[in-house]
Structure 1
């Protein structure tokens, strides 16, 4: 018996956790159900990145397209947008990993922005998967996505186009017909057809004959490039020397002390001149120096002017010099290629038209500089040029494009339209040496050669410099971080390709076709009284959901 002042002991009461509400439970269940699909999207995005240089596993571009097509099939637009983002983010993180030199925050930030376009693509793929012949509309939407990404925001960023993973593949000759957009369309169509074929091999409504027909269509698309002629014949040629002087240190501080980069290129040119005089080398008709081969403005620094002039006089032929020129005001600088004659000195010049945001100019400078102090390294904004790079360099009428500009269709096309007989890409990849970025830019240049039927000369400060034939073959190339000189005789062509004649028409046609297909899918859904965002036939959804929840 307990004493009057003692409290009776009682067992502890069990703690009950309230059950989650119905909405929260459903949301959690949806997240769990979507994890396998998201994981597969991440894997597919990584596989697509491996299709690009420096890995060059180009068949994976077909696998990536097929995987995204299947993963978005039968989804709502919202679900497919997430799948597209989950596909796009790892793709760009791996593809643009060379930006880590600037900072991983820059890599992640740019990758997120670019992945948003893949999210929109995913939603579009889900919508158009309800239409007959959806692989065709899927291919159009890939062009639509690239069309938008090449222009937005801040002038766009074309890295990661399917065409740039297929610059030495059976698809490549199609560039001579419709440029990079047609190559992207063909790759996407082949990949989507393979996805459709795989779908017809599984599920309750297996259709082996239809699968075989789709696979045959993919193979036909793959082989179509073999019947496309790439014009290469030329009546005239020019002897070229490309100078790669190298830099003191790769990375953000590649310039070293003032005049070091300029001295490297001047010394390499003078060495070539000495070899010519000694009979060890043949004298070229023209010499090409890379972007930023002079780290000082020769018009405001007499020592830089004299150093360039002495080197050009030693070689005795017109030389294209890459340099930064002050102006047009104190807040700006211009990235230029200047024709330097051994007798008359500097003449015609080309100013880079498309400076790189945050690398060569800072948008919203006053606001962002307060938050991101690293942007103070961009002390002055690059001032954009207002005309193309067609210039007379000795006997050759060249079309000069500078560095990242080779990724933009209209800039390169404009030089050919205005009479360029050979393309020159002046570039400075020293910041991104040994990161894979120079290989990616080399691949773009190969595609441009085929697209326009022009030889392409790449002059890089630290690599990769190259001589590319009009059929896209790399005839010579340098290694990175080495001083080198390339000598070659290249054709000067006047003829144009079909791609030159039709211009941007294929891109606009295919891009608008993708948008119209999305609109048609929405209208059809509403007429049938179904949810506008649903996609895929019941048979297709059932077949795919047996594999992926």
Structure 2
């Protein structure tokens, strides 16, 4: 009689359930590193003095991109960008508030992150070329140029260079402006990532030669910046106000209510506050408590001007010195503009400059029909008219650059003014829109970079702070607190020096774009050739 053996259960492999987990572990770790690296980049921005974190953030991003293909680079780059821009731009919520909700902040952050996603994807095409950190850095900085065009008419906030108002890389601004500073920072970061990978492979390869290129990518940008520091001048070398070539400048910070977008309804309060602070300044001048300034600066949109304005005439006459008055201005027969007006104590209003680069959702509403889906607020607003002239005015015997607020983020505004003979940069701004956020300090960091880029002192005049005096080497000598009424008075140097950055102009920026495009073309051709060879090898086998 045959005996049937009992069924034997199939042997179970203990490792099987863990294989899917292991398969996802590496992508999840890369996602986490991409997000952490983006956040580290955010931490490098003002008000923190942590400029050295930016190359570390890009080093982490470089490690994430190693060995990735196009779509992987796109996804990881987008995550990196989101972790960077979301915290950097939280001040948009202070500005827009409940009227708009979080959607503009989220949408703008996502749009800007998409540029870093594209940059990450293209980096995967050049990562295997000799000298890869150079081409990858050029690609990342190249993505900053279209950000000045789109979305919302351009939004250059958060450029890599704006994290460097001090430190080793800042002097490079005098040679190649913001593009060169950003390139040097990202090159250092990607070089550091390559160096880490090569050191980890050193035990296997037993050769020091592969360390040379990544080590150079780390050391040379830092060494170049440090070597340039002695060339950054700060003394007066021009001007005709007196023999020393300097001006005594006063700022009027009248303060404003912290109500975000509600500031649209507080024009009367802004005007009254600045008239009051102007009167206090005039009393201190008359009493001899402070020296009589050569120039007084009111901040952006501190008052409204339609035609003649006897009240402002009297306020400037009390000062007894020329003033730059920041005003919402209605030109005869034209649309309203955001302007800086030269106001003489005897003859009144004269020459003016009107803002060219307008702020979306504050001075104009982009895609108005779409914006109306989010909020009915747009139905009660009209768009300002942008100015068309160069941001330079003649006042107090001096040619002065007058970029207004947001325009300090655009290379061409200050550069065109300095090319037109400006010896001093004055930055009137109204930061009361953004509450007690990091925005004012981020903007001050841009002003410090521009000071070195153009070898000019910068006077920041804000409605509610931060007002500041910035020396041509980027040093802040005096500043105010936020949401306080105050005045600053001090001497600033006037300079005629033309930096190499001003002589080169936009050629550095477009040169980096050209390098990036050539590298992508070579990398893409090499990738296609490699894949074709792999397919032929597979068929032959």
Output the TM-score relative to the length of structure 2.
0.88
Per the TM alignment, residue 489 of structure 1 is displaced from its structure 2 partner at its CA by 1.0
> Which among 281, 298, 321 is matched to residue 289 of structure 1?
298
Distance 1:78 1:217 in 2: 26
Instruction: Summarize the Cα distance change of 1:431–1:239 in structure 2 as closer, same or farther, 3 Å threshold.
Output: same
> Which among 321, 327, 350 is matched to residue 347 of structure 1?
350
The more displaced of 486-495 and 213-222 is: 213-222
Equivalent position SS for 1:248: coil
Alignment of 1:444 with 2:453, yes or no, is: no
Q: Which residue of 2 aligns with 1:320?
A: 324
Contact 1:121 1:142 in 2 (8 A): yes
Q: Which residue of 1 aligns with 2:225?
A: 225
Equivalent position SS for 1:170: coil
Instruction: Summarize the Cα distance change of 1:260–1:150 in structure 2 as closer, same or farther, 3 Å threshold.
Output: same
Alignment of 1:503 with 2:505, yes or no, is: yes
Instruction: Summarize the Cα distance change of 1:420–1:27 in structure 2 as closer, same or farther, 3 Å threshold.
Output: farther
Per the TM alignment, residue 249 of structure 1 is displaced from its structure 2 partner at its CA by 3.2
Per the TM alignment, residue 257 of structure 1 is displaced from its structure 2 partner at its CA by 4.6
Contact 1:249 1:255 in 2 (8 A): no
Distance 2:267 2:356 in 1: 26
Q: Which residue of 1 aligns with 2:32?
A: 39
> Which among 52, 57, 61 is matched to residue 59 of structure 1?
52
Per the TM alignment, residue 529 of structure 1 is displaced from its structure 2 partner at its CA by 3.9
Alignment of 1:242 with 2:251, yes or no, is: yes
Q: Which residue of 1 aligns with 2:192?
A: 194
Per the TM alignment, residue 253 of structure 1 is displaced from its structure 2 partner at its CA by 2.0
Distance 1:80 1:360 in 2: 36
Distance 2:207 2:32 in 1: 28
Per the TM alignment, residue 146 of structure 1 is displaced from its structure 2 partner at its CA by 1.1
1:75-122 per-residue CA deviation (whole Å, 9 max, x = no partner) reads 110111000001101110011111111142221110000011000010
Q: Which residue of 1 aligns with 2:390?
A: 388
Equivalent position SS for 1:252: helix
> Which among 308, 315, 320 is matched to residue 312 of structure 2?
308
Per the TM alignment, residue 374 of structure 1 is displaced from its structure 2 partner at its CA by 4.5
Instruction: Summarize the Cα distance change of 1:159–1:205 in structure 2 as closer, same or farther, 3 Å threshold.
Output: farther
Q: Which residue of 1 aligns with 2:410?
A: 408
Contact 2:257 2:432 in 1 (8 A): no
1:439-496 per-residue CA deviation (whole Å, 9 max, x = no partner) reads 0000000000000001101100000001111111111111100111111111111221
Equivalent position SS for 1:416: helix
Contact 1:200 1:206 in 2 (8 A): no
Alignment of 1:359 with 2:330, yes or no, is: no
1:12-59 per-residue CA deviation (whole Å, 9 max, x = no partner) reads xxxxxxxxxxxxxx9999766522211111111111110111233221
Equivalent position SS for 2:153: coil
Q: Which residue of 2 aligns with 1:133?
A: 131
Per the TM alignment, residue 141 of structure 1 is displaced from its structure 2 partner at its CA by 0.9
The more displaced of 55-64 and 172-181 is: 55-64
Alignment root-mean-square deviation, CA: 2.2
Instruction: Summarize the Cα distance change of 1:259–1:512 in structure 2 as closer, same or farther, 3 Å threshold.
Output: same
The more displaced of 279-288 and 262-271 is: 262-271
Distance 1:211 1:514 in 2: 23
Equivalent position SS for 2:263: coil
Alignment of 1:368 with 2:376, yes or no, is: no
Distance 1:462 1:214 in 2: 46
1:259-278 matches, cutoff 5 A: 259-278=268-287
1:236-275 per-residue CA deviation (whole Å, 9 max, x = no partner) reads 1111111111013342223665522112112212212111
Q: Which residue of 2 aligns with 1:487?
A: 489
Output the TM-score relative to the length of structure 1.
0.87
Contact 1:231 1:497 in 2 (8 A): no
Distance 1:260 1:165 in 2: 34
Contact 2:306 2:330 in 1 (8 A): no
The more displaced of 78-87 and 228-237 is: 228-237
Instruction: Summarize the Cα distance change of 1:531–1:72 in structure 2 as closer, same or farther, 3 Å threshold.
Output: farther
Instruction: Summarize the Cα distance change of 1:30–1:155 in structure 2 as closer, same or farther, 3 Å threshold.
Output: farther
Distance 1:437 1:480 in 2: 11
Instruction: Summarize the Cα distance change of 1:329–1:154 in structure 2 as closer, same or farther, 3 Å threshold.
Output: farther
Distance 1:310 1:33 in 2: 70
Instruction: Summarize the Cα distance change of 1:132–1:483 in structure 2 as closer, same or farther, 3 Å threshold.
Output: same
Distance 2:262 2:474 in 1: 33
Distance 2:266 2:198 in 1: 64
Distance 2:197 2:404 in 1: 45
Distance 2:182 2:450 in 1: 14
Instruction: Summarize the Cα distance change of 1:513–1:272 in structure 2 as closer, same or farther, 3 Å threshold.
Output: same
Distance 1:361 1:489 in 2: 36
Contact 2:34 2:77 in 1 (8 A): yes
Instruction: Summarize the Cα distance change of 1:150–1:297 in structure 2 as closer, same or farther, 3 Å threshold.
Output: same
Contact 1:200 1:207 in 2 (8 A): no
1:184-237 per-residue CA deviation (whole Å, 9 max, x = no partner) reads 111111111111110012244465564476335413321211222123341411
1:346-401 per-residue CA deviation (whole Å, 9 max, x = no partner) reads 00000000111222111232x22541224427611011001112111122211101
Distance 1:470 1:256 in 2: 37
Distance 1:77 1:481 in 2: 47
> Which among 509, 515, 518 is matched to residue 516 of structure 1?
518
Instruction: Summarize the Cα distance change of 1:27–1:112 in structure 2 as closer, same or farther, 3 Å threshold.
Output: farther
Instruction: Summarize the Cα distance change of 1:318–1:134 in structure 2 as closer, same or farther, 3 Å threshold.
Output: same
Distance 2:372 2:140 in 1: 38
Q: Which residue of 2 aligns with 1:114?
A: 112
- Uncovered stretches (5+) of structure 1, i.e. residues with no partner: 1-25, 533-549
Distance 2:533 2:87 in 1: 37
Q: Which residue of 2 aligns with 1:167?
A: 165
The more displaced of 371-380 and 472-481 is: 371-380
Q: Which residue of 2 aligns with 1:8?
A: none
Contact 2:258 2:435 in 1 (8 A): no
Equivalent position SS for 2:313: helix
Instruction: Summarize the Cα distance change of 1:269–1:86 in structure 2 as closer, same or farther, 3 Å threshold.
Output: same
